């Protein structure tokens, strides 16, 4: 178990006007500036109770609150792990990540991650920030990711993400029969009582915008196509649960499986046995970091989601009365 760190500090006069990360490094000298920056970005180090950016300025009398897990430092070593590479050149690669693969080494997952696989495939990526990774997928989310192979490409792809010009589309299968698509504009941050979870927050959250449209209606479930303007941790899962349409197979935000009345045995077994959140990154659009050329990538649904959709189509057809 990682140790939980809970500390507070008040900004003194001599740090008035400093960057948040620089002030935090002075007030919490036991931790490196890079680790403090990570905690700031994850909303675990707050300024006056609000999640801020590392470069934001602090003022005398401001209150810093640190509530984070002290993860063990891990070394990133290359490992021979199969990769499903969709596209690759000298600047970048696009891959189809399987469900169950962790992206970065961390406490509890010191190896066997996507980064370990990438360092084995392209050793030069070890010299890049975060091993070339510019965005994440949750461990149990499958689908397309882009990684940089040069520092220039890494900077360019990060800039594209921050400018919200990278286009990401996901397939999600939700509990509940939706009547239409829409947009969820609901700020997010660390859950106030369960720090391993994220939540929609009325105060102090970071902007989070999710667009969704109906791709297929079933009797008690809906397949949707989701696009993101922002990339908050667990964003789709949290936003859809906030709208009362949690993803199938997501116990963190959806609770126990919901079985429709009169469900067939096959449907019951499928819903109870689906092993992960039904979420797949199916399309990715960006500009090539070296040439500026527009690029678009797609990958098929994985077998588990295909099988889930087949069962829903056959055993959960649209009906007039929808009741659990």
Series of mean pLDDT values for 10-residue runs along the chain (324 residues): 73 92 87 84 91 93 87 71 97 97 78 94 90 92 97 93 93 96 94 85 89 97 96 95 97 93 96 97 98 97 98 89 49
* Contact by Cβ (8 Å): 285, 296: yes
* Contact by Cβ (8 Å): 289, 153: yes
Rounded CA-CA distance 15/288 in Å is 41
Per-residue confidence (pLDDT) for residue 75, from 0 to 100: 60
Per-residue confidence (pLDDT) for residue 203, from 0 to 100: 84
Per-residue confidence (pLDDT) for residue 1, from 0 to 100: 40
Rounded CA-CA distance 321/2 in Å is 48
Give which of 99, 102, 98 is closest to 82, Cα–Cα.
98
Annotated catalytic residue within 82, 89, 138, 323: 138
Rounded CA-CA distance 86/247 in Å is 27
Per-residue confidence (pLDDT) for residue 24, from 0 to 100: 92
CA angle 156/279/184 to nearest 5° reads: 75
DSSP single-letter state for residue 150: S
Give which of 144, 153, 164 is closest to 231, Cα–Cα.
164
Per-residue confidence (pLDDT) for residue 149, from 0 to 100: 96
Helix (H) or strand (E) holding 5: strand 3-10
Per-residue confidence (pLDDT) for residue 3, from 0 to 100: 55
Strand positions, DSSP E, 92-186 = 92-97, 142-148, 167-175, 182-185
Residue 72 appears among annotated catalytic residues: no
pTM over 0.85, yes/no? no
Give which of 220, 222, 243 is closest to 323, Cα–Cα.
220
Sorted by where each starts, the structural domains of the chain and their CATH numbers stand as 3-70 (3.10.290.10), 85-162 (3.30.2350.10), 167-315 (3.30.2350.10)
- Residue positions counted in the chain: 324
Per-residue confidence (pLDDT) for residue 97, from 0 to 100: 98
Handedness of CA 167, 98, 242, 218 (dihedral sign): positive
- Furthest C-alpha separation in the chain: 69
């Amino acid at each position: 178990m990682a140790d939980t760190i809970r500390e507070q500090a008040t900004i003194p006069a001599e740090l008035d006007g400093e960057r948040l990360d620089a002030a935090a490094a002075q007030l919490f000298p036991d931790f490196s500036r890079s680790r403090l920056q990570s905690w700031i970005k994850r909303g675990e180090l707050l300024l006056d109770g609000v999640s801020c950016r590392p470069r934001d300025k602090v003022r005398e009398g401001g209150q810093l609150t640190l509530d984070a897990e002290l993860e063990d430092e891990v070394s990133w070593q290359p490992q021979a792990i199969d990769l499903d590479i969709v596209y690759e050149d000298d600047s970048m690669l696009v891959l189809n990540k399987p469900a169950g693969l962790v992206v970065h080494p961390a406490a509890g997952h010191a190896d066997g991650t996507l980064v370990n696989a990438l360092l084995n495939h392209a050793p030069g990526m070890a010299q890049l920030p975060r091993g070339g990774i510019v965005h994440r997928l949750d461990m149990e989310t499958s689908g397309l990711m882009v990684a940089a192979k040069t520092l220039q490409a890494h900077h360019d792809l990060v800039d594209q993400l921050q400018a919200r010009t990278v286009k990401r589309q996901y397939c999600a299968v939700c509990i509940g029969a939706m009547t239409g698509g829409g947009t969820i504009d609901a700020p997010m941050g660390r859950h106030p009582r369960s720090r391993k979870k994220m939540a929609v927050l009325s105060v102090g959250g970071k902007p989070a915008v999710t667009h969704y449209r109906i791709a297929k209606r079933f009797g008690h479930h809906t397949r949707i196509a989701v696009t993101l303007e922002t990339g908050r941790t667990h964003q789709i899962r949290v936003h859809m649960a906030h709208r009362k349409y949690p993803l199938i197979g997501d116990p963190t935000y959806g609770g126990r499986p919901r079985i429709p009345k009169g469900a067939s045995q096959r449907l019951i077994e499928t819903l109870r046995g689906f092993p992960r959140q039904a979420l797949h990154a199916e399309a990715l659009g960006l500009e090539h970091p070296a040439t500026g050329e527009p690029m678009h990538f797609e990958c098929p649904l994985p077998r588990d989601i295909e099988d889930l959709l087949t069962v829903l189509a056959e055993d959960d057809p649209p009906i007039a009365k929808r009741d659990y």
